[in-house]
Amino acid sequence: MTQILKKLTTCFCLSLLLFVNQITAQSKTSDDATKNSYFKGSLSYSSNSVYNGRKDSLTTPYITPNLGYYDKSGFYANSSLSYLTSSTEKRIDLFAIEAGYDFDISSQFSGSIYGDKNFYNKSSTNIKSDISGSLGGNLSYDLDILQVNAGADVLFANKTDIALNGGIAHAFYIGEDDNQWTITPTATTHLSTLNFYQGYTNRRAGKNAKAPNGSTITTSTVVTNRSTGLTLLDYELSLPISYDAKSWGFSLTPTLALPTNPIYTSTIVTLKSRVGTTVLQTQNSTPISETNLNSVFYVELMVYFKF
C-alpha cells in the first residue's frame, strides 16, 4: 500500500504542476501587472519543535533567521538557519533550503508546489532530524465561510514516508491593505507513515557504543505498530495572529497539538565481536510520552521585512 501511495503522491505533484501551468496561463488578469518581486528577511522564535504532535523529551527551542526571494510569477526560494537555544545545549542545529511555486487558479482556488533540503547537526534531537528533505504540494479553496485545504508530501530519509494533511480555517481581517491585522482560527489533522519516527529514535539512542576487547554494542530501534501504512497522528488547533504593513510585519502563532495513536517501539541490543554477532537483549522501548499521550502547546513568533 505504501508503494502505491508513493506513486500516487508523485503523480499528484507532477500532474498538479502541469495543470497549474495551463490554468494559470489562462487565468492571468491585469492585476498581475501590479505584482512586484521582492526579497523577504525574517527572524522567528519557536518555543519547541513539535511534529505530528510528537516532540523530544528535551525542549527544542529555535531562533531562526530566514532570507528568501519571491518572484511575481509565484516562484520563491529561501534559506534558513536554526539556532538551538535550550538551557542545556546551544548550537546551530539545522540549515535548510526551500524552493516552490505559489499559484492562483481562480479568486477562490489556490495552491503551491514545493521542495526542501534539510541539514541537521549530527547531535540533533529534533523529532524531524531523520528527514533530509521533502517534495509536496497543497491546494486551498475559499468557501467564504471557511477555507478548506489539503496537502501531500513525500519525506526522504533512510526510508521514505508519505504524509497527508487537511484542515479548515477562517480569516478575520481588520484594517486595509498595508495596515492590516489578520486573525485565523485553524484546525488541521496529520497522517503519515512512521519511518521518520524510527529514524529519529535510532539517532536519539546513539547506535554505536564501544564495548570491551574491541567489540561494538549496537542498538537498533524499530516501530512495532500493527499498521505499517498511514496513521492518524494528531489534530492541531492554532490561532495565527498577524500584522502586515507595506514593507514589514509580524505574526504570533500559538498551537495546541492533540496526538493520537501511540507509536510503539522495540530496541534490539546487539554485540558484534571478532567471532560473530550475538543479540544481547530485545526490549520494549516505547517512551512514557507515547503510552500516555498528552496535548502539546507551543508558540512561534516571527517578524519580517520586505525589500
Indicate if the pLDDT at residue 25 is higher than 50. Answer: no
Indicate if the pLDDT at residue 232 is higher than 90. Answer: yes
| Dist. CA 12–CA 152, nearest whole Å | 8
Contacts of 153 (CB under 8 A, 6+ apart): 9, 134, 135, 136, 162, 163, 164, 165
Q: How confident is the model at residue 206, as a pLDDT?
A: 60
| Dist. CA 43–CA 263, nearest whole Å | 34
pLDDT in tens, 148-158: 999 999 999 88
What's CA 168's distance to the chain center, in Å? 18
Q: Between residues 229 and 36, which one has the greater pLDDT?
A: 36
Indicate if the pLDDT at residue 18 is higher than 70. Answer: no
| Dist. CA 160–CA 197, nearest whole Å | 11
Q: How confident is the model at residue 270, as a pLDDT?
A: 79
Block residue for cell numbers 524552493? 99
| Dist. CA 38–CA 204, nearest whole Å | 40
Block residue for cell numbers 516571527? 302
Residue 188, all three cell numbers? 488541521
Q: Which amino acid is at 169?
A: A
| Dist. CA 37–CA 219, nearest whole Å | 50
Please list the residues that pair with 123 across neighbouring strands. Answer: none
Q: How confident is the model at residue 213, as a pLDDT?
A: 64
Residue 201, all three cell numbers? 529514535
37 DSSP assignment: -
278 confidence band (pLDDT: 50, 70, 90) = confident
Q: Which domains does the chain have, with CATH numbers?
A: 2-27+36-306 (2.40.160.40)
Q: How confident is the model at residue 226, as a pLDDT?
A: 64
For 99-124, what is the mean pLDDT? 96
Q: CA distances (Å), 164 to each of 79, 81, 131, in order?
A: 24, 26, 15
**What predicted TM-score, i.e. pTM, was given to this entire model?**
0.84
CB 263 within 8 A of CB 237: no
